[in-house]
Amino acid sequence: MKIAIHAAELDQERIDGNRVYLLNVLKNFGTLDQKSGFLLYHKNNFNPELAPPDFSNYAIKKIKPFPFWTQTIFSRELFKDKPDTLWMSIQAIPFFLPKLRSVVTIHDLAPKIFPKHFKPFDRFKLNLYLDLAIKKADKIIAISENTKSDILKFYPEVDAGKIKVIYHGFDRALFDRERNLSKEAEVKRRFGIDGEYLMYTGAIQPRKNLAVLVEAFEELKKETGSDLKLVIAGKPAWKAQETLDRIKRSAYGRDIIIVPGPNFDDLSHLYRGARVFIYPTLYEGFGIPILEAMAARVPVIAANNSSLTEIGKGCAIYFDGKNILDLKNKIKNVLEDIDSTRRLVEEAYLHSKNFSWEKCARETLEFLKD
């Protein structure tokens, strides 16, 4: 079988969950199915942190950039190469396709649920691509039951039978390691982190709800006089400026440290050194950082919405995503109730073992070939 894969996302500078997903599935496809051939299409140089492995059954096809590349050059190459199956790991699909089986992964429906969090043209473009992908694809992978439910809510005409839920995994070998205190100290020194800290990782954009995290952090500092820092490990994305301005205005701005895009190894040490990992996002299709933190044996506090309660089950502390004082109190309780926190961390660590990229890739491959 010949399977075509849109891999241009791996060229991008910013690393996000969707790109981590594609990379890690590709790390497994080549060994799970050595009889099939995989055609990986991209248009620029791979980001070194996102470069896929060079398996013998992988053909890397670098096709020159061109306006609307997915709809033009990529589509043309599919007609030339005539694959049996196309997998789009992004929420888009070419309008014109040769005769093949098409499968698209839908991560979330954020442009429809939080339209004001996107610039008007971006919102229009993302909704256009999303509509086409869901209606045109032969089969759909939803990355959580929550995403499947959202698809059926906004597209009631879609046959639920063509949707399969396949959970993400995470890099256990990277995040489930013993603490290396000297390396942690070196990473903290390099990023200007002094002392203990709370942590968030992910993009800086409105849906991530970082203003609530910053205000809860301020309330905690006022109430306790703590020396804790807040580390935000991530790069600015769309409409980030309002969040960045809010951080600058904070009376505790010196204790809020932005670490823009740490590499995966540095990120793993940041997790293990954190007192608490906080994921205040208003909406996620999955939420890989929750599992990464659990594997790193760090207590997790997350907003009680979308897929976050589905993925974390009862192994995270949940708060009302719009309630600053609720988050402040939850942070304080986790820091002070050492015994309960220790039990929660152990339960969460065991829970994280239910997820792996190998399992995700195997289920995805079976769905592509079925």
Domains of the chain and CATH, by start: 2-169+356-369 (3.40.50.2000), 172-352 (3.40.50.2000)
CA atoms within 13 A on the CB side of 221: 19
Coil vs helix vs strand at 167:
coil
Over residues 98-144, the pLDDT tens digits come to: 999 999 999 999 999 999 988 899 999 999 999 999 999 999 999 99
Q: What is the pLDDT of residues 27-61, one digit of tens each?
A: 999 999 999 999 999 999 999 999 999 999 999 99
Return mean pLDDT, the chain: 97
Q: Convert the pLDDT of each residue in 156-169 to its tens digit.
A: 999 999 999 999 99
At how many degrees (to 10) do helices 210-224 and 324-336 cross? Answer: 60
- Is 261 a residue whose pLDDT tops 90? no
pLDDT of residue 169: 98
Q: Are 277 and 298 in contact (CB under 8 A)?
A: yes
- How far does the chain reach from its first CA to its final CA, in angstroms? 11
pLDDT of 235 reads: 92
Count of beta carbons in the 10 Å neighbourhood of residue 182: 8
Q: pTM of the prediction? A: 0.94
Residue type, 60: I
d(CA 243, CA 282) in angstroms, rounded, equals 14
Quick one: pLDDT band at residue 337, thresholds 50, 70, 90? very high
